[in-house]
Chain A
Amino acid sequence: MSDSDLLNSNFVAWMDSREGSESDIVISSRIRLARNLQFITFPYFMNAESGNKSMQEIKDAWKNSESELLSAMDLIAFDQTSSLDRQILVEKHLISPEHGLSEEAYRGLLVSKDGSIAIMINEEDHLRIQCLLPGLQMEKCYELAQEIDDELEKSLDFAFDEHRGYLTSCPTNVGTGMRASVMLHLPGIAISGQRTRIFQNINQLGMTVRGLYGEGTEIVGNYVQLSNQITLGQTENEIITNLGIISRQIVEQEKMLRRNLQEEMKYQLEDRVGRAYGILTNARVMSSNEALALLSDVRLGVDLGIIKGISSLVINQLVVAIKPAHLQRRSGGEMEAFIRDVKRAEVIKEILLKSSK
């Protein structure tokens, strides 16, 4: 099974920073479409009977589809996976943390070999079609999601109302059912203490800011997820265009602040980057939050050419490789927190030294 690559390696499509524009600041772009089947109870209230029915319909649609895109995907049913495997999918951003806790046969994931398309089955909605690509490429994500949506719609009766649009479990998603988001790495804005100023009015623009793993997660390692809040009364194109405009403005701000740092605080900046690299390649015990903060500095050093030889792809992989489930997969078993911190320091050292040679 090819999903073993997604479960065993550190790589997934969105990490490939050679693709997509502005990838020194925009880590990845994502489109998520929420779709539901007519009449079947929504997943939140689902029992085994309605769950199996919805899973079966989706399975049939996938199996009978003539689309190459769909038939090249793999189905992972959650009763067939370990909780460690599901946690690995969470850490790679392919499923939500809540979905990772489910272990029913009727919940699962349809995923492409490289992880660029991931359809969560019976999460909060019957289907959540996600497309995740590196850098700023909202339009391409949307095209891909559209293709999957149109293909599935050929055989599935999606719940749709002419006034309310696509009907979703939560009223916050009704209408387009679309959430468009970008993952931004913003050390320049953070170091200059501008984050509050830049993001304080973002809600008024119909956007919202979250941490690495979406809803309810804190901002660590200067990673910020920006997404649309409104799904009703705007077209998909308007949503994407708005998000694109705001993302580009933030990218410009970040670039300007990075230039300022380079020009006015050259020594302090190089010192900070060098120290981060020094700690990461010499420490023996490393917590997840410390690692993320230091990797953010190293990444900034890579982006600005202060550190040479390390690619941002390596940093993207490291950010995921140091998460608990990935560490446990690497060392072949469950580990208590302290042992994980030791293992984490080892992995970082190994990967950084290997790639900077």
Chain B
Amino acid sequence: MFCDDCKQKPATVHLTQMANGKKIDMHLCTECAAQKGFLLFDNNKKFSIPNFLGSFLGSDFNLQDVHSLASTSNCSNCGMSFADIRQTGKLGCSECYKAFDTELEPTLRRIHGNSNHVGKIPLRGGERVFLQKEMGELKLELQQAIKAENYEQAAEIRDKIKELEKVINEEGSR
């Protein structure tokens, strides 16, 4: 995402202004924001919800962080950097989750106490996920069967796993 003003540099300052009940969103680069006098919070850090969430996403936000993190990689789909995400507490697009997977892991654990989804899977595009879930369940069953020394059943489950593996590989190569 580029600066609304100069349209050249990446936008690192995101502002929402309320005037006469109207909401105005601005996305500026540090330079343009400084020119417009919007960088007052640099040495006057106030508590706000985005900052609060931002601190969930790593250390407390300040401008030094923006400068030091600006060079690290950005999301290839929307151009958002992790500094942007930290600052606003919001991700830019679906692909940010892949781009910043490692950075997000501790955050998700802190918020949810967990970082793996176990709920609903969309019907469309979710076939592969669904098969893998089934695979996980079969493997668990296999372990239990072996533990119980029920080898006949274990052999049956093993065959099912092999079949399922084939299906998953075909899905993956499609």
A159 interface contact, C-beta 8 A: yes
Residues from chain A with a CB closer than 8 A to the CB of B56 are 171
Residues from chain A with a CB closer than 8 A to the CB of B117 are 161-166, 174-176, 232-233
Known: A162-B129, A171-B108. A41 touches B92 (CB 8 A): yes
Interface members, chain A 268-289 (any B CB < 8 Å): none
Residues from chain A with a CB closer than 8 A to the CB of B115 are 163-164, 232-233
Q: Is the CB of A234 within 8 A of B92?
A: no
> When the two chains form the complex, which single residue of A83, A167, A230 contacts B97, counting CB atoms closer than 8 Å?
A167
B91 interface contact, C-beta 8 A: yes
What is the chain A residue whose CB lies nearest that of B80? A45
Residues from chain B with a CB closer than 8 A to the CB of A102 are 23
Known: A41-B92, A153-B123. A233 touches B112 (CB 8 A): yes
Chain A min CB distance to B133 (Å): 9
What is the chain B residue whose CB lies nearest that of A170? B90
Residues from chain B with a CB closer than 8 A to the CB of A161 are 97-98, 117
A306 interface contact, C-beta 8 A: no
Q: Bound state CA distance, A101 and B21, in angstroms?
A: 7
Chain B min CB distance to A107 (Å): 10
Q: Interface of A with B (CB < 8 Å)? A: 36-42, 44-45, 83, 98, 101-103, 124, 149-150, 153-154, 157-172, 174-176, 178, 216, 230-236
Closest CB pairs A-B (n = 10):
A233-B114, A165-B117, A159-B94, A232-B112, A176-B119, A162-B129, A101-B23, A44-B90, A235-B119, A167-B94
Interface contacts beyond A153-B123, A160-B122: sample of 11 additional A-B pairs, CB < 8 Å, sorted by A: A38-B94, A39-B77, A45-B1, A98-B23, A162-B129, A165-B117, A169-B90, A170-B90, A172-B53, A176-B119, A232-B117
User: What are 29 sample pairs from A and B whose C-beta atoms fall under 8 A apart?
Assistant: A39-B93, A39-B94, A45-B27, A45-B90, A102-B23, A150-B123, A153-B122, A153-B123, A154-B124, A159-B97, A160-B126, A161-B97, A161-B98, A162-B117, A164-B116, A170-B90, A170-B91, A171-B89, A172-B111, A175-B117, A175-B119, A216-B49, A230-B111, A230-B113, A230-B114, A231-B112, A234-B118, A235-B120, A236-B119
